[in-house]
Structure 1
């Protein structure tokens, strides 16, 4: 079966969790191509309509998988193929694009949401499947902290001072929705013995090393769906402090060394002071059990197969 992934091409880099889906589908005999959307906002996306219809008109594809709501809406305006839309958070949490993402839910054949809170935003819940993104536990593994720091220092990617506590911020500093200013205010309360590391342009190897080199991960976003960075840090047995967004509470709440905090510098600083006392956690056990790659991929394949059957019946 040949599947067309539709996703934004504005950043010139496909999110890791989408590439992981592609890789897992290929392992099971699927062919996957990409249609990269050029342009921003609903107008920018819809300008790609003609090119997309030309891409699928020869019948080479069995199904289109739109990643994020606007990609799903664009895909749903062609009527040749069934469309599955995956929702990841920003497409439904952002009021400016929510209505368009909801329209995609109405027009598409099936939907996948990565957290229960996102399902609640969808008008056609009966066609929605709750499937969180998988975590590749073979990639995201615990590494001794000192070993991780020595590798990063030896390559010149970062320098760690003796006696300092290092907190890995869960995103880039230029994304307002991730509340970097709140993180900066939190660090100011903790003083010079703490340093904040920006999560920016890391290779897969770097991500694993920085997770393991840091004393804790900090996520203080305004909104989230099912943040992959939380699950990946859990797979590396790292302490975590997070605001109560998306599905984070359900993912980390039972793991010692991981904390849900109010979104204030005072509360986040107190939680981080506690978190860095933990050298590691046992979060990996919960992640490997709940977000195993093979089981997640099989669930996505079942959604594909059902969507194709429904589309064929509807168009007989």
Structure 2
């Protein structure tokens, strides 16, 4: 029987990191759940990530019997994502040393994010094996919505190179691969669209009163945001929209994710100041990072979950909210256009207008029957979307490369 050992590269961010912290979000959940379920299918998976201070696992930790996370010593744990490109070669060397010292060989490399792609390409050349890449997001996607990073030039160059040099590009939606082909005016060697899943044992419906009691929420209405505190998430639009709703006196906006330390995140400081500008600082709670096992309480306590992102490769928050029967209002990003049918499984806001978004929120707050109907419909949609199904599709792709 052919060995099936996969090296998964998540250079800049550990999949076991604290969700909602800086650089820890949907991609981390994706990598972790994919790895776990690949292990269930008989693959031996090693996830290579950089060393950091707060992981629940040791330097080499068994997540499951066939799945390990391996923290590679490189740079300082607090080195920013922008600076990490300078450490790609050192990370590659240290991964190769780990492989040689432990006499382990791999059959396939699967990288996540462009920095990991840079690592994966070099390892692919060194080991003579195929390299698959998920971008998750790209510099061009960010620049399309006027978000510019310090390393934009080198990132653009490397992402275009990786798009053509990787043995396969994997995306979560057909829209994403179409955008990539448009950006780079060509097609990759191979491409696959594989839809992510949701863990129904972690995200499930409970009584709203129970969830609100557990979280000590007294307001009649709860609006929820879940995600990293990052400009691409467009939280400023949600804050302005919330300030305009008629039920403001009886409502609370919960912002889940990120740090509560203003020194660690300038965007957090900006958003806090924005709540003061609109005079709603007492009605907005910045909850910080929340344990994944407690997150279902927030979804269930909410009357609506709002996604205001400028860009998403998929948008796992949408699935998680739907799994808890909580209606979603979203900008047309990621899979929202495939998952949300207006008035049936949620609402789309096609114009970035605080006035329009506030009207949609108000509509759901006023009509609890509609909210229940949407919650039920969306739950019926996502309960068929599992991580195990996604891993099965990935296993088929992996097997096709292992045969070569």
> TM-score, length-normalised on structure 2?
0.69
CA contact (8 A) 2:120 2:131 kept: yes
Aligned residue number for residue 198 of structure 1: 255
Aligned with residue 218 of structure 2, among 126, 150, 161: 161
- Match of residue 43 from structure 1: 86
Please report the RMSD computed on the Cα atoms of aligned residues, expressed in angstroms: 2.2
Residue 8 of structure 1, aligned match among 7, 11, 32: 11
SS across alignment from 1:77: helix
2:37 corresponds to 1:34: no
Q: Distance in 2 between matches of 1:179 and 1:31?
A: 38
Q: Residue 294 of structure 1: CA displacement? A: 2.7
Offset at 1:215?
0.9
* 1:96-115 deviation digits (Å, cap 9, x = unpaired): 33442332232222221011
Shift, 1:241, TM fit: 0.9
Partners of 1:91 and 1:209 lie apart in 2 by: 34
Q: For residue 76 of structure 1, what is the aligned residue in structure 2?
A: 121
Preserved contact between residue 170 and residue 192 of structure 2 (Cα < 8 Å): yes
Is 1:138 the equivalent of 2:232? no
1:270 aligns with 2:270: no
Change (3 A) 1:257 1:24: closer
> Given the superposition, is the C-alpha separation of residues 210 and 229 from structure 1 closer, same or farther in structure 2, using an over 3 Å criterion?
same
Cα deviation code 1:108-135 (max 9, x no counterpart):
2222101122212044345110002111
- The equivalent residue for 1:17 is 30
Of 91, 99, 105, the match for 1:60: 105
**1:195 counterpart SS class:** strand
- Structure 1 moving runs of 4+ over 6 Å: none
Q: CA 1:69 to 1:303, structure 2 compared with 1: closer, same or farther past 3 Å?
A: farther
Q: Work out which of the residue numbers 321, 332, 340 in structure 2 matches 1:233.
A: 321
Q: Does 2:289 correspond to 1:286? A: no
2:166–2:188 Cα contact (<8 Å) kept: no
Q: Does 1:147 align with 2:204?
A: no
Unaligned runs of 5+ in 2: 18-23, 51-73, 144-151, 258-288
Equivalents in 2 of 1:251, 1:124: separation in Å? Answer: 26
| Counterpart in the other structure of 2:241 | 186
Count how many residue pairs are aligned between Structure 1 and Structure 2.
Answer: 301
Q: Provide the C-alpha distance between the structure 2 equivalents of 1:295 and 1:240, rounded to a whole number of angstroms.
A: 23
- Separation in structure 2 between the aligned mates of residue 307 and residue 98 of structure 1, nearest angstrom: 27
The more displaced of 105-114 and 36-45 is 36-45
State the SS of the aligned residue for 1:26: helix
CA distance in 1, matches of 2:240, 2:381: 32
Find the residue that maps to 2:333 and give its secondary structure.
coil
Q: TM-score, normalised by structure 1?
A: 0.87
Is there any run of 5+ residues in structure 1 with no aligned partner, and where? 153-158, 311-316
Aligned counterpart in structure 2 of residue 107 of structure 1, from 140, 150, 165: 165
Q: Which of 89, 114, 117 pairs up with 2:175?
A: 117
Q: Would you say 1:211 and 2:259 are equivalent positions?
A: no
Measured after TM superposition, the shift of residue 17 of structure 1 is: 2.1
**Comparing 31-40 and 235-244, the one that deviates more:** 31-40
